[in-house]
Amino acid sequence: MKRKTTPRWARPVIDGAMTLVYLLQMAPYQMGQVYHEWAGLSFVALFVAHHALNAGWLRRARKHGTTQAHLTITLDVTLTACVTGIALSGILMSKQAVPALIVTSLAHFSRPLHACLTHLGLMLISLHVGMHAPILRGYARRATGRKLNASLSPVAFAIVSVSCLAAGAWAFMRLGVMTKLTMGMSFPDGTTPLPVLVMEHLLLASPFVLAGALLSQSKER
């Protein structure tokens, strides 16, 4: 019997959908409560599908045993735990998607925990994206039919690095991420326009994507 293969479009479509949904999840007030809750459940489904499609790679990485493989597996386990916490804390205060499971007495704890894990998740996902930069280049090569040159001159690399670090630091302070990570604050209110808020979170993600890309280029000694 011929073994079924995953369509080439499946992984990039799922990965792209996950990224878009997660970014919009950072703006619950702008998108509305109903969207936020149902999109959150959709993200969990996409996350499970992503891991199912990449189960073979994880088995090979565990067997290969390189430092880079161990880093990737550790990141994936941490990210899975984080997404699980996001889902559970969201379900405990759900008013639209699964209201029967809401625990009102825990709302005062679930809300800041949800914000904390969501922002931590953005950083972990960004690191994950950066570590899979070679795969993303493969997607782009198949889409454009061109081989992309990933190398930068030392000057260009320095400019990109400093820009990412500066942008990330600014967004970190602008969004009050430290307060959210210490569960002292929930999501920002809905006064910031959606495109601006998405851009601020992309800037926050940029240094973590850069760090992941650098890790993906590390060589086993």
The alpha carbons of the chain give a radius of gyration, in whole angstroms, of: 19
Residue 132: predicted pLDDT: 82
Which residue in this structure is represented by tokens 């990039």?
A: 12
Tens digits of residue pLDDT in 141-177: 666 666 656 666 788 889 989 999 999 999 999 999 9
> 84-98, 121-135, 177-191 — which is least confidently predicted?
177-191
Q: Does residue 91 contact residue 49 with C-beta atoms inside 8 Å?
A: no
Tens digits of residue pLDDT in 55-78: 777 777 667 667 777 788 889 899
CB neighbour burial string for 165-193, b if at least 16 within 10 angstroms, e if fewer: eebbeebbeebebeebbeeebbbbeeebe
Instruction: Tell me the domain boundaries of the chain.
Output: 10-216
